[in-house]
Amino acid sequence: MGKSRMEAFSDGVLAIIITIMVLELHAPHATDLAALRPLVPVLLSYVVSFVYIGIYWNNHHHMLATLTHVTGAVLWANLNLLFWLSLLPFVTAWVGQNGLAPTPLALYGVVLLMAAVAYFVLQGAIITAQGPESLLARAVGNDAKGRASLAMYAAAIALAGRAPGLAAGLYVAVAVVWLVPDRRIEQVLAEQRRS
Amino acid sequence: MGKSRMEAFSDGVLAIIITIMVLELHAPHATDLAALRPLVPVLLSYVVSFVYIGIYWNNHHHMLATLTHVTGAVLWANLNLLFWLSLLPFVTAWVGQNGLAPTPLALYGVVLLMAAVAYFVLQGAIITAQGPESLLARAVGNDAKGRASLAMYAAAIALAGRAPGLAAGLYVAVAVVWLVPDRRIEQVLAEQRRS
Amino acid sequence: MGKSRMEAFSDGVLAIIITIMVLELHAPHATDLAALRPLVPVLLSYVVSFVYIGIYWNNHHHMLATLTHVTGAVLWANLNLLFWLSLLPFVTAWVGQNGLAPTPLALYGVVLLMAAVAYFVLQGAIITAQGPESLLARAVGNDAKGRASLAMYAAAIALAGRAPGLAAGLYVAVAVVWLVPDRRIEQVLAEQRRS
Amino acid sequence: MGKSRMEAFSDGVLAIIITIMVLELHAPHATDLAALRPLVPVLLSYVVSFVYIGIYWNNHHHMLATLTHVTGAVLWANLNLLFWLSLLPFVTAWVGQNGLAPTPLALYGVVLLMAAVAYFVLQGAIITAQGPESLLARAVGNDAKGRASLAMYAAAIALAGRAPGLAAGLYVAVAVVWLVPDRRIEQVLAEQRRS
């Protein structure tokens, strides 16, 4: 079983998730600039979630580049990741409509945390399918960046009640850390080509 | 006529079906955890339907792997399957908004039953197109798993009025049975490669 | 410029059009069978439009099989076809919510007529790009089926006010006529392969 | 890292953007022709935005034809372009619901301007990745058409308050200018093949 349809299906779902979030930006009835003010937090939460989906799409793309055959475990680990990402439009809307209200902000972090865990599980399923000498196993290493992200999500969830601004800042910080495409997989692929 | 566009179109429709179901998860106006309680059945019905679409996508993928040319009958049998699956967001929303109300629960089963019948019809159309010696005909065999699923859907529809919990349990049970990817087609493909 | 991205984009748009129509099937608040009765015309109009999009996707697929290079005219003729088909969800909803009301029924025909004209224009653009000796020119011939469809749409629009049932019947009749995949292109392709 | 998944993802997002705009065409409750009158500006703004997305898809397609490898900068410049285009359904709805109201009309121009700037940035990122002798650098030249478009958007934004009709006319004019596919890239590609 090839991976091209799994890539195509994932791309389709991610393209839909990233786009339907904009449906939360309802055109206001009034036509002055002030009518846009309530939309600012909606837009900001959309921007953060857009960047997160972009990061997941990008890293997903790189991770699958190392995959040579799809197993049942890889397939369901991938659907599990897509499931958690599909909840992002819901929590984005809840956060956007309520500024920095604690519970929506914490739930946003829970969804990000679950998606990150699902990404780890998918990574593990691919390494299991490809073997411990696989490219991905070597590229990921001890995955300090991934572990640090989990800790930051957990911290943001815990802080959402007392310091919502700090929690929101942590979500942005993790996104910024991941904005730079993950070069580890590219490096290992390039090394392999040279040898 | 190649099958790649039929696969791409099916992937697109399934990706949209699986994603628009999340639009039923409306962000509540209140911002406390209690505001999420009414969403729990909506989320649970989403999870079950998400898994069903994942199963159909996965098995559809395997089934088409055996197809070498697309006939008019295969094409319309495929669109018929997509039609019944496209009704899943509607019945998922109806069940989710009403917990275990009998009629929505029964209609959910009717849509699953019709989709399963449509899958059988597509399977038959492919076998007709490929011939009785086709890979798919050998892989499917007497298709005990498929027949059992139809019986369980029918039982759940009949039970929805008197024992809605049992009916819902049957829908989950069928999904669990199919979660394991169907190895029959992979096995026959692997045997063919060896010989 | 290859045609694969034009096919992929068209498939994407058609997959979305065929799927978002189901969003008009709003889950009713009541949970008894009677609550579904108002949805019956909505469902019926969805079925007819689903079949029409399926037909267009199918014939579009066949028509593009004869295309070897994409010109600007072909590209915009294709977008023009997609535009008219994108209005189908709107008129489908209007017809579905109002049973056989004359104006929605006539507008449904206008959109089908414009889509059919756009299909003719795309066909002409492809023949112009490929030359009068092209496969498509030979396959289409005088295109009696296409011309008859235009006449039936025009008749249905004219009849929508006095005999709405007949107009609706004409829309169904045209769909049935086209349900059978167009063998002309396949035949000409097969002849070419033999010679 | 290949460009095919970046193309597929972009095609998916653009296909969704172009199609969800039609969701703003809500079927009216009344069933006479007069009920359609309030929808005329909504339809007209949809047509203009549909053409713009068509133009971006077309030029995006041509621009990527010159790309041989995807860098992180190209990838994020592409997501940035998709982000601004994803706001088009929102401003299209706001303009459509309010005819030629100044603020929505100006904001429509702001989104078009930002998308055009994002397109420039993507163009620059591709030229940086491919080198100053790249096909795209030669094809684009001093890009008078691109610069003129930016100036026309800026003029339309400035005019939206005093002469909304003129501002709307400028948006249509820029679209007409770009309707003709950009032959520069095709020409340079053809020259290269000849030499």
pLDDT, tens only, C141-178: 777 888 899 999 999 999 999 999 999 999 999 999 88
Report CB contact under 8 Å: C94, D181: no
Q: Indicate if the alpha-carbon torsion angle A46, A48, A49, A53 is positive or negative.
A: positive
Report CB contact under 8 Å: A54, D87: no
Residues of D in contact with A14 (CB under 8 A): 9
Task: Answer whether residue C181 shows pLDDT above 60.
Answer: no
The pLDDT value given to residue D129: 86
As for the ipTM of the complex, it is: 0.89
Residues of A in contact with D25 (CB under 8 A): none
The 10 Å Cβ neighbour count of residue D182 is 18
Phi-psi region of D8 (alpha: psi -120 to 50; beta: other; left: phi over 0): alpha
A31 contact partners, CB below 8 Å, separation of at least 6: D94, D98, D101, D102, D103, D104
Report CB contact under 8 Å: A47, D83: yes
Torsion of CA A102, A106, A107, A111, to 10 degrees: 160
CA–CA distances in Å: residue D95 to residues A103, B63, D39, D83, D167: 35, 47, 12, 19, 12
Distance from CA of B141 to the nearest CA of A (A): 20
Average pLDDT over residues A117-133: 88
Angle at the Cα of D9 from the Cα atoms of B63 and D76, rounded to 5 degrees: 150
B88 contact partners, CB below 8 Å, separation of at least 6: B17, B21, B49, B52, B53, B111, B112, B115
Given a contact as 3+ CB pairs under 8 Å, which chains touch D?
A, C
pLDDT, tens only, B4-29: 888 889 999 999 999 999 998 999 99
Per the CB < 8 A criterion, the answer to whether C177 and C132 are in contact is no
Which DSSP helix (H) or strand (E) runs through D51? helix D39-65
Average pLDDT over residues D94-110: 94
Report CB contact under 8 Å: C19, B103: no
Closest CA to A1 of B184, B123, B139, B62: B62
Smallest CA–CA distance from C32 into chain B, residue: B103
Residues of D in contact with C18 (CB under 8 A): none
Tracing tokens 């490809």 back to the chain, one arrives at A130
Tracing tokens 């029409």 back to the chain, one arrives at C52
Q: What average pLDDT is seen over chain A?
A: 89
CA–CA distances in Å: residue A147 to residues A120, A140, A144, A169, A174: 9, 11, 5, 18, 11
Average pLDDT over residues D74-87: 96
Per the CB < 8 A criterion, the answer to whether C115 and C88 are in contact is yes
Residues of D in contact with A55 (CB under 8 A): none
Q: Which residues of A touch D (CB under 8 A)?
A: 7-8, 11-12, 14-16, 18-20, 22-23, 25, 27-29, 31-33, 35-36, 47, 50-51, 54, 57-58, 61-62, 65, 179-181, 186
Phi-psi region of A99 (alpha: psi -120 to 50; beta: other; left: phi over 0): left
Per the CB < 8 A criterion, the answer to whether B66 and B185 are in contact is yes
Residue B2 DSSP code: -
The least confident of A46-50, D58-62, D102-106 is D58-62
Report CB contact under 8 Å: A1, B65: yes
Report CB contact under 8 Å: B61, A1: yes
Facing A16 at nearest CB: one of B15, B50, B65: B15
Report CB contact under 8 Å: A9, B57: yes
Secondary structure class of A178 (helix, strand, coil): helix
Per the CB < 8 A criterion, the answer to whether B146 and B120 are in contact is yes
Report CB contact under 8 Å: D72, A27: no
Residues of B in contact with A72 (CB under 8 A): 180-181
Tracing tokens 């590609």 back to the chain, one arrives at D189
Task: Answer whether residue C179 shows pLDDT above 80.
Answer: yes
Given a contact as 3+ CB pairs under 8 Å, which chains touch B?
A, C
Question: In terms of DSSP H, where are the helices of B66-182?
Answer: 72-86, 88-97, 102-130, 135-140, 144-159, 164-179
CA–CA distances in Å: residue A172 to residues A153, D115, D134: 11, 23, 36
**Confidence band, pLDDT 50/70/90 cuts, at residue D1:** low
Longest CA pairwise span in chain D (Å): 64
What does the alpha-carbon distance between residue C65 and residue C50 come to, in Å, rounded to a whole number? Answer: 23
Distance from CA of C43 to the nearest CA of B (A): 10
The pLDDT value given to residue B184: 66
DSSP per-residue string spanning A25-47: SPPPSS-SGGGGTTHHHHHHHHH
Choose from A186-195, B26-35, D67-76 the range with maximum mean pLDDT. B26-35
Q: What average pLDDT is seen over chain D?
A: 89
**In chain A, where the domains are located:** 4-194
Per the CB < 8 A criterion, the answer to whether B181 and A72 are in contact is yes
The pLDDT value given to residue D66: 79
Report CB contact under 8 Å: C27, B79: no
Report CB contact under 8 Å: B16, C20: yes
The least confident of A87-101, A174-188, B15-29 is A174-188
The least confident of B28-42, D10-24, D33-47, D130-144 is D130-144
The angle that helices A102-130 and A88-97 make with each other, rounded to 10 degrees, is: 160
The 10 Å Cβ neighbour count of residue D132 is 8
pLDDT by position in tens, chain B (length 195): 578 888 889 999 999 999 999 998 999 999 999 999 999 999 999 999 999 999 999 889 888 887 888 888 899 999 999 999 999 999 999 999 998 899 999 999 999 999 999 999 999 999 888 877 777 777 777 778 888 999 999 999 999 999 999 999 999 999 998 886 566 666 666 677 676
What does the alpha-carbon distance between residue B119 and residue B116 come to, in Å, rounded to a whole number? Answer: 5
Phi-psi region of C82 (alpha: psi -120 to 50; beta: other; left: phi over 0): alpha
pLDDT, tens only, D114-133: 999 999 999 999 988 887 77
**Confidence band, pLDDT 50/70/90 cuts, at residue C112:** very high
Residues of C in contact with D22 (CB under 8 A): 86-87, 89-90
Residue D28 DSSP code: P
Task: Answer whether residue C137 shows pLDDT above 60.
Answer: yes
What does the alpha-carbon distance between residue A60 and residue D76 come to, in Å, rounded to a whole number? Answer: 15
The pair of three-digit structure tokens given for residue B7, joined into one six-digit string: 């696969």
The pLDDT value given to residue D113: 97
Higher pLDDT, A134 or D93: D93
Facing B9 at nearest CB: one of C33, C36, C57: C57
Report CB contact under 8 Å: C54, B76: yes
The pLDDT value given to residue B131: 78
Instruction: Give the pTM.
Output: 0.92
- Total CB pairs under 8 A between chain B and C: 70
What does the alpha-carbon distance between residue B86 and residue C45 come to, in Å, rounded to a whole number? Answer: 14
What does the alpha-carbon distance between residue B1 and residue D69 come to, in Å, rounded to a whole number? Answer: 32
A180 contact partners, CB below 8 Å, separation of at least 6: D72
User: Percent of chain D beyond pLDDT 70?
Assistant: 91
